[in-house]
Amino acid sequence: MTRLANGGALIDRDTPVSFTFDGKQFRGVKGDTLASAMLANGVKLVNRSYKYHRPRGVVTSGPEEPNGLVNLGSGNRHEPNIRMTQIELFDGLEATSQNRYPSLRNDVGVLNAAASRLYPAGFYYKTFIHPRHAWKYLFEPMIRRIAGLGRAPTEADPDTYEHQYAFCDTLIAGGGASGLLAARRAGEAGGRVMLVEQTERLGGRLLVDDDAEIDGKPAREWVAEQVAALEAMENVTIRLRTCCSAAYDHGYALLYERRTDHTMPTGPRHRLWRVRTKQIIGATGMIERPIPFYGNDFPGVMLASAVRDYVKLWGVAPGQTTVLYTTNDDGYRTALALHEAGCKVAAILDSRADPAGLLVEQAKTAGITVHPSTGIGKTEGTKDGVTAIHTVPLGKGDDVALGEKIDCDCVAMAGGWSPVVHLYSHSGGKVMWDAGRAMYRPDPDNPPRDSSGEAYVRMVGGATGALTTQDVLTSAAGNGEGVSVHGPAEQPTASVWFTPSHGKAALGGKHFLDYQNDVTVADIRLAAREGFESVEHAKRYTTLGMATDQGKLSNINGHAILADTLGKAMPEVGTTTFRPPYTPISMGSIAGQQKGSLFKPFRQTALHEWHAEQGAEFEPVGDWRRPYRYQKGGEGRETSITREIRRVREKVGLLDASTLGKLIVRGPDAGKFLDLMYTNMMSTLKPGKCRYGLMCDDNGFLMDDGVVARLDEQTFLCHTTSGGSDRVHAWMEEWLQTEWFDLKVLTANVTEQWSQFAVAGPNARALLDRLEGDVDFAALPFMGFADGTLGGMPVRVFRISFSGELSYELATPTAFAVSLWELLLGSGDDLGVGPYGTEALHVLRAEKGFIVIGDETDGTVTPHDVGMSWAVSKKKEDFLGKRAMERPDLTRKGRKQLVGLLTEDPNFVLPDGAHALSADGTRAIGHVTSTYHSPTIKRSIAMALIEGGMDRMGEVLEIGIDRKTTVKAVIASPVFYDKDGARQNV
Amino acid sequence: MLLIQCPACGVEAEETEFAAGGEAHIVRPGPGCTDAEWASYLFDRKNPRGVHYERWRHAFGCGKWFHMARHTHTLEVFGVYAADVLDPPQEIKDRIAERTAP
């Protein structure tokens, strides 16, 4: 056990917590993270690296952790790639290591490391090129098995997730020193303030680095005072375990709240907050950088700040004997913390020639040896962790001899600090290189801007590059009242991007930059040599910064190595783009409540329940669900559909056509407007009459069709396709509002206010005549309509037909839909009345050669192409599509035209979309648009768009079925049944 | 995600409540125009890195179309104005001149 006797601000030593790691039972205490608990149990090896399967331990103490990724939970709550440093321990927690086989300690994937000289940067691009098939069937599956992170869960997630919306004036991201002070000042100024903190605690580094006095109080006391003050303010909301994941345009922020990950789940597990705020204050602090040296990835090699976090927050010593390798004064705090906790600090290696200052003096006073101008040249260790380091003198070129060997089981790296500038960068803010402090920091002159062009993200504290408590709090106070701070002064950082090892140093062992993707200094140098000089190219070639940690630890070092190799300055090389989310967020939180039946809600007609009870098989039509057929018993599809078709051709069938779009167009200029919208003339339509109309866009291509009825002089009712009601309504409004705004016309979409049924078949009139009402069905002419009552219910009766049979369509206010439907069905058993579905409807219309928008048309088809020139007015000066239809390509000979196809074998139904071949078989000259078996004429029928088809009647075409098979079909009229239209005019 | 104010109903709402309608102030030529003029009307669109006049519709709100002057790179909104005008109002042109002055 490595739990210290004292210390540990976050833990409750008296409350033990038991958990398992790789099936083995462990104990921690309340307040531990999984990372601190494993260290307390003396276990450093927790993972295998992505590419080389090297043994790895945790490097950090926070969300930037690259190595400590585990599978959490089991069964349907299994979740991969969770950072151990963010997992708050609870009783019964189950974690397993990943990317190892058969076990973490004995992993066969380690063979990759032995062969690592064969895996340079760009390895995948250089290898596995031939034979081509092998990539898909051999190489890729093999690589995916060996490389990679955790396995995706295989069962549905039982937890719930939700989206929430919030609005505020100031959103503060980060609850450390600067976030607390900025929130205090914003709260005092009034306005709604949200303070979010990704961990479960407020205070940030002040909880650990407590050597400063603020306003005359110890740092921790000052934190407690701020928290109490904020909690007392009604206009301030504090959310813990909530990460500001992203800052988007115009003050839109995304927060990711982990509600129940630290406890047993009750209510939503994660929340995704969508926040609109006037201002974002980014108090996101800094992340310490590792130092690339030989073997800097042994378990036990950690960030200096993380080492003292474990000591002071969780009362854990990551090692018994530690070597500190630092480039700055701040690193000495780690040595002091270890010394105070009674742990041995074997040596401090400082890259600077002349370290001085209070912290350095304190370390020396404590009896710790300080080696100036010295780094780590080589590391020794086992899979369980580092065992020794060899020093190396710095500043003497690459070809140097190693110094003394120092035994240790922990190495603390203090490579300088990088401001967390992500939120500033997400929506357009620029960062600048600060050579003096060796960091990218926000450029105050190029902030993200809101819709008025004003800056809406302001960074404060460490995120601006402030390194001391004094500077951090001064920047956070902004224009508000400042605070006084007394803390140790610090000397400047010396940037060390790479520490040479022995001999031809750079080519020696591995100096890791990106732990998670196994990218080394040598990889970046190779990329530069091979011409990947742009930072974006080098990133993609080597995968630097492309792992789930997105290069939080590695990018700056990597870019510095690239700059050094190219002989350029840092700003010339530049940095890659920071993209949201800041840390990975769960797929569940992205989905929120939108899953299952809420994933894509569908529209249903008033008769939906009735259809379902009658065995309807539904199909999607636009956003609707319509009955495809009504199944009786266990009958097959063909049987139902044939029965329904024969019912309409021989008796009488009912179709729920309520999904048809119904638009009211009214006003003194309604006729004039519809003349512009439709290709045919609508203004001459008489009240009481219907006309079938076609709509084109201004390219001249068909986009919708339907029957238009003139209700009175100023009012038209326009029917649209089932999927088209919203689109056509919006289309009309667009032209009315943006082009012909001088026309006095109003529109209304009344699709759902009216239900509509087709009553079709030779017995239709007999059925309707039986019902009490005032409509004279015999006198109603084809393409006429009448208002009246039927069975005491209000109806509008249209004499129109989409089946070619005697047919009426009854529209009734939707409240009457079920009553009218049931009345119709209950009044004609002897007449053979029954429902039919959409597939029967489609066969019936195809037998008559009627087009369906979206089947016979595809956005490149004109009315002339489908043989409907009769519906294109020659008299009108203008309408949508008129000018376009005069363009050369739309008038040329040889355009695809709608024809019928009759297969040589009457029982063979062509596949939908099958291509017709040119005479020499080299080219497709058209395709099948609708194809069915017709029970009426007892053979297969099809419609097709064929080049010059209307002039090729009787020609036999070869239709391609698959690569080897063609079948013969003869071009015919697309009207297969009742060519004179006699059946509907009775 | 942009924050947009609808000039018709006054509501300020998220971009998802609106539908973008492409470049504004495109003149639809009459029936007697040349093929080239018609093709230009159908297909030629500006794609500036800078000020862009565009059409929007408050699709999930009041349903009205309107115009917006926006900077395609900084996303600054210089103003919104009615759909039934052929040119941007002077005050919007003035604001653009002021905001984009070097």
A355 preceded by cis ω (within 30°)? no
Q: Count of domains in chain A?
A: 7
Sequence-distant (≥ 6) Cβ neighbours of residue A30 within 8 angstroms:
A11, A12, A15, A16, A17, A89
Task: Assess contact for B17 and B3: CB atoms under 8 A.
Answer: no
Q: Could you give the count of Cα atoms lying within 13 Å of A446 in the half-sphere of its Cβ?
A: 13
CA–CA gap between residue A898 and residue A902 (Å, rounded): 13
A705-743 pLDDT, tens digit per residue, is: 999 999 999 999 999 999 999 999 999 999 999 999 999
CA–CA gap between residue A90 and residue A261 (Å, rounded): 9
Q: Which of A727, A749, A771 is the last residue of a domain?
A: A749
DSSP conformation letters of A853-867:
TTTT--SS--TTTTT
Q: Does A922 touch chain B (CB under 8 A)?
A: no
Secondary structure of A395-406 in the HEC alphabet? Answer: CCCCCECCCCEE
CA–CA gap between residue A726 and residue A705 (Å, rounded): 14
Do residue A328 and residue A231 come from a single domain?
no
Do residue A773 and residue A807 come from a single domain?
yes
CA–CA gap between residue B19 and residue B66 (Å, rounded): 11
Report the residue from A250, A730, A739 with minimal CB separation from B28: A739
pLDDT at residue A793, rounded to an integer: 97
Sequence-distant (≥ 6) Cβ neighbours of residue A295 within 8 angstroms:
A301, A378, A379, A380, A381, A386, A509, A510
Q: Does A445 touch chain B (CB under 8 A)?
A: no
A289-298 pLDDT, tens digit per residue, is: 999 999 999 9
Q: What is the CATH number of the domain that holds A702?
A: 3.30.70.1400
Do residue A647 and residue A769 come from a single domain?
yes
Kindly state whether residue A676 falls inside one of the protein's structural domains. yes
Q: Where are the domains of chain B?
A: 3-26+46-100
Task: Assess contact for A419 and A459: CB atoms under 8 A.
Answer: yes
| Residue with token string 């780590």 | A376
Cβ-Cβ contacts under 8 Å, A454 against chain B: none
State whether B75 and A249 contact (CB < 8 Å): yes
Kindly state whether residue A391 falls inside one of the protein's structural domains. yes
Q: What is the rounded radius of gyration, in angstroms, for the C-alpha atoms of chain A?
A: 38
CA–CA gap between residue A256 and residue A279 (Å, rounded): 18
* DSSP, res A678: B
A566-610 pLDDT, tens digit per residue, is: 999 999 998 888 999 999 999 999 999 999 889 999 999 999 999
A927-952 pLDDT, tens digit per residue, is: 999 999 999 999 999 999 999 999 99
CA distance A579 to chain B (A): 15
For residue A85, pLDDT beyond 70: yes
The values of phi and psi at residue A73, to 5°, are 75, 180
CA–CA gap between residue A117 and residue A120 (Å, rounded): 6
A633-654 CB burial, b ≥16 within 10 A, e <16: eeeeeeebbbbbbbbbbebbbb
Cβ-Cβ contacts under 8 Å, B27 against chain A: none
Sequence-distant (≥ 6) Cβ neighbours of residue A811 within 8 angstroms:
A662, A754, A755, A756, A795, A796, A797, A798
Q: Both tokens of residue A81?
A: 């790639």
For residue A919, pLDDT beyond 60: yes
Q: Which residue of A has its CA nearest to B4?
A: A451
Chain A interface mutation, best of B16, B74, B86, B98, highest count of A Cβ atoms under 10 Å: B74
pLDDT at residue A526, rounded to an integer: 92
Kindly state whether residue A596 falls inside one of the protein's structural domains. no
Q: Which of A749, A782, A812 is the last residue of a domain?
A: A749
For residue A889, pLDDT beyond 90: yes
SS3 A449: strand
Do residue A649 and residue A790 come from a single domain?
yes
Do residue A393 and residue A537 come from a single domain?
no
Beta bridge partners of A625: A620
pLDDT at residue A951, rounded to an integer: 96
State whether A249 and B2 contact (CB < 8 Å): yes
Where residue A506 falls among pLDDT bands split at 50, 70, 90? very low
State whether A250 and B3 contact (CB < 8 Å): yes
Q: What is the CATH number of the domain that holds A634?
A: 3.30.1360.120
Percent pLDDT > 70 in chain A is 96
Q: Does A954 touch chain B (CB under 8 A)?
A: no
Dihedral-angle region of residue A69 (phi above 0 means left; psi in -120 to 50 means alpha; beta otherwise): beta
Cβ-Cβ contacts under 8 Å, A733 against chain B: 63, 65
Do residue A406 and residue A545 come from a single domain?
no
Q: Both tokens of residue A858?
A: 């595809």
pLDDT at residue A56, rounded to an integer: 95
Q: What is the CATH number of the domain that holds A560?
A: 1.10.10.1100
Do residue A74 and residue A220 come from a single domain?
no
State whether A730 and B33 contact (CB < 8 Å): no
Kindly state whether residue A598 falls inside one of the protein's structural domains. no
State whether A737 and B83 contact (CB < 8 Å): yes
The values of phi and psi at residue A377, to 5°, are -95, -25
Q: How high does pLDDT run on average in chain A?
A: 93
A261-276 pLDDT, tens digit per residue, is: 888 778 999 999 999 9
Do residue A427 and residue A406 come from a single domain?
no
Do residue A907 and residue A944 come from a single domain?
yes
Cβ-Cβ contacts under 8 Å, A890 against chain B: none
Q: Does A250 touch chain B (CB under 8 A)?
A: yes
Do residue A271 and residue A294 come from a single domain?
no
Q: What is the CATH number of the domain that holds A391?
A: 3.50.50.60
CATH fold for the domain made of B3-26+46-100: Folate-binding fold (3.30.2270)
Which among A390, A313, A243, A315 is positioned nearest to A6, based on CA atoms?
A: A315
A130-166 pLDDT, tens digit per residue, is: 677 777 777 777 766 666 677 788 899 999 999 999 9
Do residue A133 and residue A205 come from a single domain?
no
Residue A888 CB burial class (10 angstroms; 0-12, 13-18, ≥19): exposed
DSSP conformation letters of A242-292:
EEEEEEEGGGEEEEEEE-STTSS--S-SEEEEEEEEEEEEE---EEEPP--
CA distance A431 to chain B (A): 16
CA A56 to chain centre: 31
State whether A451 and B2 contact (CB < 8 Å): yes
State whether A730 and B57 contact (CB < 8 Å): yes
Q: Both tokens of residue A855?
A: 């089947």
Long-range CB contacts (within 8 A, 24+) of A429-432 = A429/A457, A431/A575, A432/A571
Cβ-Cβ contacts under 8 Å, A449 against chain B: 74-76
Q: What is the rounded radius of gyration, in angstroms, for the C-alpha atoms of chain B?
A: 15
pLDDT at residue A135, rounded to an integer: 72
State whether A453 and B74 contact (CB < 8 Å): yes
pLDDT at residue A986, rounded to an integer: 82
State whether A737 and B30 contact (CB < 8 Å): no
Q: Both tokens of residue A481?
A: 């009242």
> In which domain, by residue range, is A722 found?
661-749
Residue B30 CB: number of other CB atoms within 10 A? 11
CA A502 to chain centre: 47
Q: Across the A/B interface, how many CB contacts are shorter than 8 Å?
A: 70
Do residue A824 and residue A960 come from a single domain?
no
Q: Does A252 touch chain B (CB under 8 A)?
A: yes
